[in-house]
Amino acid sequence: MTYVVTEACIKCKYMDCVEVCPVDCFYVGENMLVIHPDECIDCGVCEPECPVDAILPDTEPGMERWLELNREYSATWPNITRKGEPPADADAHKGEAGKFEKYFSAEPGKD
Ligand code: SF4
Ligand code: SF4
């Protein structure tokens, strides 16, 4: 089992999660973060830190797609361990539907 970052993170990227992870297994894309499934120790500490409930255990229904996405991009995006500046329009995208189709970017972000 691992925890995974899901669609709600896209364009939000508040990054409260990276500060608490004991094994630094978050990786950053242009507009979302992912968790490396093989590095996550399933401690669950990050889950309640996310203000938009984007982090879920992969045991929840419908997580296969997100697990694959976390696995794929954690292999290429840079590691991130410190909270940065969230995007200025982060609050405007909170709770928005269909963010993956509208905004997902495979480009790496900056740590
Ligand atoms: S706290 Fe939540 S929304 Fe923010 S970067 Fe982490 S997973 Fe994404
Ligand atoms: S569950 Fe624990 S180890 Fe896994 S990403 Fe969250 S804080 Fe890190």
| Residue 110: band (very low, low, confident or very high) from pLDDT cuts 50, 70, 90 | confident
Question: Average pLDDT for residues 20-31, to the nearest whole number?
Answer: 96
> Is residue 68 a part of any domain in this protein?
yes
Choosing from 45, 59, 71, 80 the residue with most ligand 2 atoms within 8 A of its CB, the one to mutate for a pocket test is 45
Tell whether 99 is covered by a domain: no
Which domain does 71 fall in, by range?
Answer: 3-83
Lowest mean pLDDT among 13-22, 59-68, 71-80: 13-22
CA of 48 to the centre of ligand 1 (A): 10
Q: For residue 23, what is the domain's CATH number?
A: 3.30.70.20
Fill in the amino acid letter for 42.
D
φ, ψ for residue 84, nearest 5 deg = -105, -165
pLDDT in tens, 67-93: 999 999 999 999 999 988 888 888 899
Range in 4-13, 39-48, 53-62, 99-108 with the lowest mean pLDDT = 4-13
Mutate to test the pocket of ligand 1, among 15, 53, 111 (most ligand atoms within 8 A of CB): 15
Distant-in-sequence contacts of 61-70, Cβ < 8 A, 24+ apart: 63/4, 63/6, 66/4, 66/5, 66/6, 66/7, 67/2, 67/4, 67/37, 69/4, 69/34, 70/2, 70/4, 70/5, 70/34, 70/35, 70/36, 70/37
